[in-house]
Amino acid sequence: MSERYEYELLTVRVRSRGPVPDEVMMTDPETAGDAILSQYDELDADQEHFVMFALDRKHRLIGYRVMSSGTETQTPVDPRTLFRTAMRMDATGVIVAHNHPSGSLEPSRDDVELTRRLVRAGELIGLAVFDHVVVAADKWLSLRRSRPALFQSGGAPVVSPGGESGQESLFPGLPVGS
């Protein structure tokens, strides 16, 4: 005698780990930094965590993932895994972030070099790295704002034309005020 089973179909949209507030637009370093800082509240402040924030073509936050957790002074980052994860989330760009348990916002040489490598790799595959944010206690630092040369492509800054005000957006492809 055969048994019959019925299952209720459940559709789940995976946004990655952690809740993502609706319609978070990361259009500039201030908005991004504040949103990122709020997500770090849920992580252990005694160790470094490297987090990738995935954005859609309108710079809306579509999800984030803790890529690695390390020690008090470092955490490993695999660029291939980071970009693969972003592409699986259908991201068109990312903002990366990591914390400094020491409380210092000063990026290390390794932080700067990693940013340079990620920006170059993103250019090659068509996935923009908009910023690298360093979090320390209740503060944050945008490497795009503090070290814009890291985000240059072919010797020219990666920015888009501004809106009617003539200002430039710090994130490519998005005019000010959009």
Q: For residue 50, give the nearest of 90, 4, 99, 114 by alpha carbon.
A: 99
pLDDT of residue 145: 95
- Look up residue 109 and give its amino acid: R
pLDDT of residue 24: 82
- Divide the 178 residues of the chain into consecutive groups of 10 and give the mean pLDDT of each group: 54 41 81 90 91 94 94 94 97 97 95 96 96 95 96 55 40 47
pLDDT of residue 21: 56
Domain extents for the chain? 29-157
H or E element in which residue 111 lies: helix 109-125
Q: For residue 89, give the nearest of 63, 66, 68, 58 by alpha carbon.
A: 63
pTM for this prediction: 0.77
Q: What is the β-pairing status of strands 152-153 and 139-142?
A: unpaired
CATH architecture for segment(s) 29-157: 3-Layer(aba) Sandwich (3.40)
DSSP bridge pairs for 16: 64
